[in-house]
Amino acid sequence: MYRPKMVKGMVSGTGWPIDGHALYLTLWDYDKYSQYHLSNWEDADDEAVMKTMFQTEYDAGMCLADNLEEFEKQWKADEWEAQGSFCIPLNNVEVLETVYEEDKDWKPKRQQEGKANGS
């Protein structure tokens, strides 16, 4: 299995509500590490991420909600589903820490434990 590199990075200069927020981002070999992919975030960053998703999907004509209020209801009810991978240019992220490095031969712990136990 493949596991991309994951970092915690401070976003800035995008003009989106996530500017100034530290988010969990991944780098993938399939796009030649050309941009960060949003992976996760802390609860304190949820509103900024929600507003960013609405703004970018709405501006791209991909938003299924008519306005922010409707989008927020869907978001809070876990009914919203991304229309694709959310990417951030490399120059808009300051890496604060590396959570883990890329591993092209990664095995989940369960798989490793199963082999160790003879399963």
Mean pLDDT over 48-58 rounds to 96
Residue 93: pLDDT over 90: yes
For residue 69, give Cα distances in angstroms to 11, 34, 50, 54, 75.
Answer: 25, 33, 11, 10, 10
Q: What is the mean pLDDT of the chain?
A: 91
| 2-20 per-position pLDDT tens digit | 999 999 999 999 999 999 9
pLDDT value at residue 88: 98
CA distance 108 to 106: 7
Give 109 or 82, the one with higher predicted confidence: 82
Q: What pLDDT, on a 0 to 100 scale, did the predictor assign at position 119?
A: 44
Instruction: Find the mean pLDDT for residues 32-44.
Output: 97
What pLDDT score does 15 carry?
97
pTM of the model: 0.86
Alpha carbons 56 and 90: distance in angstroms, whole number:
18
Positive or negative, the CA dihedral 13, 47, 96, 81 is negative
Q: Is the pLDDT of residue 110 over 80?
A: no
Predicted local confidence at residue 20, as pLDDT? 98
3-state secondary structure of 99: strand
